[in-house]
Structure 1
Amino acid sequence: MLFRQEVLEGIAGGRIDRVFRVWAEPRVRAGSTQRTRAGIIVIDSVTAVTPEEITEDDALRSGFKDRAALLTALSKSTKEGGYHRVMLHLGGPDPRTELAANADLTEQELADLKAALDAIDNRGQRVPWTREVLRLIEEHPGLRALGLAEHLGRDRLPFKADVRRLKALGLTESLETGYRLSPRGKVLMAYLRSLTE
C-alpha cells in the first residue's frame, strides 16, 4: 500500500490507526507488515465495509476532517471494487533506518561492506553496477529514479530494484522524491575512494 507523508506522520504519532482502500480483493492481510519511511507498519485487520458502516470516528482516525470528506475521497477512486477498512499500527523503526544511520564503522565493517558490493557485482549478469549507482546517488541527491536511470541508460523499475538492494545494506535512503546516500553510505564511499588514491 502507498501512504501519503501526512498519513505516515499520523500513524507514527498515533493519530491514525486505520486507512480505507477501494479493492476488488484485499491487497494486504492481517499480520502482514510493510516498510515505510515512518517505520514498520503492522496490519491488524482488513474488513470489507459498506459506506453506511463507515463512521465519523473512522474518518477522524484515518486523517480526514469528517465522514463526508472520507466518503468523497473514496468515491473518487479510479479502482474497481468495494471499500475496505485496514486497521494498522506502527510496529517500530525500520531496521534499515537504524543501519543507515550508523556511520561509526570499523575497518573490518568497511571491508565487509566492500566485499558485499563485490559479491553483488560478481553475481550479476551485467557489468558491475553497485559503485556506479552509489556514485550517481551521491552526485544527484533527490533526483527521481527515472532521472537516475536515464543517466545510466537503464529502465526505471530494474534500477529501483537495484537501489533497494543497496538500501538493504543501509547505504541509501529514500526521500520524498529520489534518494540520497545514508551516513553509512557516505562513509563507505569515502573508504572506497581512499583505496584508489
Structure 2
Amino acid sequence: MLLRPAELAAIRAGDVDLAFRRWERPRLRVGTRMRTAVGLVEITSVDRVPVSSLTAAEARRAGAVSLAALRRGLDRVHPDRPVYRIGLRYADVDPRHALREAVPDAAEIDTIAAWLDRLDRASPTGPWTRETLLLIDELPATRAPDLAQRMGRDTAAFKQNVRKLKERGLTESLDIGYRLSARGGAVLDHEGHPRPSVDRPGPEPGTPLPHLGAGATRTLTAHGLLRLEQVARLTESEVRALHGVGPYALDRLRAAMDAAGLSFRVV
C-alpha cells in the first residue's frame, strides 16, 4: 500500500491511524509490518465498509481535510470497487537501518559468508553474491538495469538478488541504484576481495534520503548529500538553488526531515 511522505510523517507522529482504499479484495493482513521511509508501519485492522458509513472523525484520523474530501478522493480511482478501512500504527524503526551500519565480528562474518555460499550453490545461473557486492561497491548510485547488464542478467532477477543482500544489511537502496553498506564492506574486506573503492570514505551514518526523483537524487549525490542529516546542514534556500532540486523534491525533503526530527539550517 502506497503512503505519501506526509501521511507517513503523520503516522509516525500518531496523528493518523487510518487509511481508506478501494480494492477488489483485501491486499493486506492484520499484523503485517510494512517497511517505509519512516520505519515500520503495522496494519492493525482491515475492514470492508460502505461509503455511506464514513464519518468526519474517521476522515480526520485518515489525514483528510474533511469527510467530503475523503469521499472525493475515493471516487477518483476505481469508484466501482468496495472501500476498505485500514488501521495503521507506527511500530518501530526499520531494523535493517541499524543492521547495515553494524560492522560484524569475525564469527558473524563467517556466518554471513556461509549464507552467501548457500545462495551461490542454489543459483541455477552460478555464483553471484560476491560479484554483485563488488559491482555495487564499484558503481554506487547506478541504475539497476545498467548493473544487471554488466552482470549479464535480466533486471528483475538482479533486483531480486539484491533484495536478498539488503535483508542481511549488506546493501542499501538509493533513489537511483544502491550502495554497499559498512556491513557489506566488512565482509568483502575480511575475505580479501580487491575493492576499487577501498579508499573511499565509508557511508556517513544517519537517515537516508527519501525518494526524490532521478534529477534531484543525482544532484544531491554529486554534492555528497546522501543523508538527511547532511541536508540539514544547509539552508532551504541553498538546497533550492541546486540545479535539479524542484518543488516536488523539496516537499519530500521537508516531510522526511520533519518525520526524522530534523529541519533545514536557519541563518
Q: Give the deviation of 1:47 after TM superposition.
A: 1.5
Q: CA deviation at 1:117?
A: 1.4
1:85 deviates by 1.0
Contact 1:23/1:79 (<8 A) preserved: no
Letter of the structure 2 residue corresponding to residue 134 of structure 1: L
In structure 2, the residue matched to 1:134 is 133
Distance 2:180 2:131 in 1: 13
Answer 1 or 2: higher relative contact order, Cα 8 Å, separation at least 6. Answer: 1
Distance 2:79 2:149 in 1: 30
In the alignment, the residues of structure 2 paired with residue 79 and residue 134 of structure 1 have an alpha-carbon distance, to the nearest angstrom, of 45
* Structure with more strand by fraction: 1
Is residue 47–residue 85 contact of structure 1 (8 Å, CA) maintained in 2? Answer: yes
Q: How does 1:116-131 map to 2 (within 5 A)?
A: 116-131=115-130
State the superposition RMSD in angstroms.
2.6
Alignment of 1:32 onto 2:47: no
The offset of 1:90, in angstroms, is: 1.9
Please name the residue that 1:181 is paired with. 180
Task: For residue 168 of structure 1, report the CA deviation from its aligned partner.
Answer: 1.8
Task: Compare 147-156 and 107-116 and name the one that shifted more.
Answer: 147-156
Identity of aligned residues (%): 39
Aligned to 2:155: 156
Q: Distance in 2 between matches of 1:190 and 1:37?
A: 30
Higher alpha-carbon deviation: 53-62 or 114-123 = 53-62
Q: Contact (CA 8 Å) 1:47, 1:86: kept in 2 or not?
A: yes
Answer yes or no: is the 8 Å Cα contact 1:23–1:80 preserved in 2. Answer: no
Q: Relative to structure 1, is the Cα distance of residues 173 and 49 closer, same or farther in structure 2, using a 3 angstrom cutoff?
A: same
Aligned pairs, how many?
195
Distance in 2 (CA, whole Å) between partners of 1:79 and 1:151 is 44
CA deviation digits over 1:107-160, x for unaligned, max 9? 222233222212211221112111222223223433443443333333332222
**Matching of residue 63 in structure 1 with residue 63 in structure 2:** yes
Report the equivalent of 1:76. Answer: 76
TM-superposed CA distance for 1:60, in Å, is: 3.1
User: Per the alignment, in what secondary structure is the counterpart of residue 69 of structure 1?
Assistant: helix
Distance 2:146 2:64 in 1: 34
Partner of 1:22: 22
Does the 8 A contact of 1:37 with 1:174 survive in 2?
no
Measure, in 1, the Cα distance between the counterparts of 2:97 and 2:79: 32
What CA distance in whole angstroms lies between the structure 1 residues aligned with 2:82 and 2:129?
Answer: 43
Bigger shift: 122-131 or 63-72? 63-72
Q: 1:70 to 1:132 in 2, by over 3 A?
A: farther
User: Does the residue aligned with 1:170 lie in a helix, a strand or coil?
Assistant: coil
How far residue 177 of structure 1 moved from its aligned partner, in angstroms, is 4.4
Secondary structure at the aligned position of 1:35 is classed as strand
